[in-house]
Amino acid sequence: MKRLILVDACNLIHRLPAFRDRLSEGMDVLAEKLLQQIRILHDLEHWELHVIVDGRGEKMEQQFLENTRTLSIIYSAAGQTADTIIETWLIRLGKGWEVKVASGDRAVAHSAIAHDADSMTADQLLDWSDRVQTRFSRGNQSSLRKSSSKFGNRLEGLS
Residue 149 pLDDT: 46
CA nearest to 45, candidates 16, 19, 71: 71
79 in a structural domain: yes
Number of domains making up the chain: 1
Distances (CA, A) of 92 to 32, 89, 95, 106: 26, 5, 10, 20
- Which CATH number do you get for residue 9? 3.40.50
* Average of per-residue pLDDT values in the chain: 88
Q: The pTM is what?
A: 0.85
Structural domain that includes position 108: 2-140
156 in a structural domain: no
pLDDT digit string (tens) for 61-81?
999 998 899 999 999 999 899
109 in a structural domain: yes
pLDDT at 156 over 50: no
CA nearest to 112, candidates 124, 101, 126, 123: 101
**What average pLDDT does range 10-18 have in this prediction?**
93
The values of phi and psi at residue 21, to 5°, are -75, -5
Q: What percent of the chain has pLDDT over 90?
A: 77
20 in a structural domain: yes
